[in-house]
A = this chain, B = another copy of it.
Amino acid sequence: KVLVALVFYVLLNILAAYLFVLIEKHPDNNYTDEWFIFNLEKKFLSSHNNCLSTEDRRFLLKEVVVAYKAHLVNNSHSHPDWSLNNALLLSFSIASTIGYGTVVPNTPGGKVFSLTLAFIFIPFTGLLAAKMGAILAYYVKKSCRSIFGSSPRTKYIGVLVTFLLGLILYVVMPTMLLRFVGNEENWDFLDCLYCVIITLTTIGFGDYVPGLKEKLHSFNFFVDPSSHGGIFTTMTVIIWVVAGLAWFATIINLIGNVLSKRAKE
């Protein structure tokens, strides 16, 4: 039954992704690099001749950087590549509240759709994550009982095993996958762990996105910066996060309980 819900959830996300593509790919919405370059050229290069002094060149380059930064900071990651995979990452980053921000809606229609999605998909993610979290706890409990019998000690062992299994499944394995299987060659071990924790906490800065094929500080000028991982990576991320979210929330709640007990003392 949970599996059906998970499949339904993934299909719903894909449907939302498809709608995002439809909304955002409207021919009027072409804030592309070409448009930016055209404006830049018009504004700066036409006033100079084709020959630039060193100062002129530096000035121009600084302008480009600042302008592009401003563009990225605001209308921000104005993502021209509205592939279904990128749209799926957007849909899931809304549903999970991770909000990486590497793909964002740019049109009013896309924004309204995002807000609507949030109100339906966020509670759905919560429900599904709780169900999937319960599965791990249930099977651990069952196994522990059949091994240790039902004593109070068994309960503690069960909690400990659930914690350790979760740690391996949701933290250690994804970190290893990112480090050794993923295309993120330039991410060191800390980067991979950071990516995993920033994702599971749903902070989702967007500086490290699983599957994003870019290299850190590479300045490899010919790599397509919008190259997220393929649909397989996105699916893996969705299942991993939905499965691990409740486990992680339990740990955060435990720390919260300890904190509030300390505060009361």
Residues of A within 8 A of B (CB): 5, 31, 33, 36-37, 39-41, 43, 45, 50-54, 57-58, 61-77, 93-94, 97-102, 104, 108, 111-112, 114-115, 118-120, 122-124, 126-127, 190-191, 193-194, 197-198, 201-208, 212, 214-226, 252-253, 255-256, 259-260, 263
Contacts and interface: CB of A to CB of B under 8 A. Distances in A.
A69 B33 CA distance: 10
Given A64-B65, A76-B206, A207-B74, A197 B255 contact: no
A111 B120 CA distance: 33
A12 B104 CA distance: 32
Contact of A193 (B43, B115, B203, B224): B115
B70 A69 contact: no
B115 A197 contact: yes
Contacts of A71: 217, 219
Closest 5 CB pairs of A and B: A123-B256, A99-B203, A76-B207, A101-B205, A69-B225
A83 to B, nearest CB: 15
Which of A5, A50, A65 has the largest number of chain B CB atoms within 10 A? A65
Contacts of A122: 201, 252
A214 B74 contact: yes
B225 A66 contact: yes
A104 B259 contact: no
- Copies of this polypeptide in the complex: 2
A68 B40 CA distance: 15
Given A72-B72, A259-B124, A207 B53 contact: no
A113 to B, nearest CB: 11
Given A204-B204, A216-B75, A57 B50 contact: yes
A205 B76 contact: yes
Contacts of A37: 58, 61-62, 65
Contacts of A224: 66
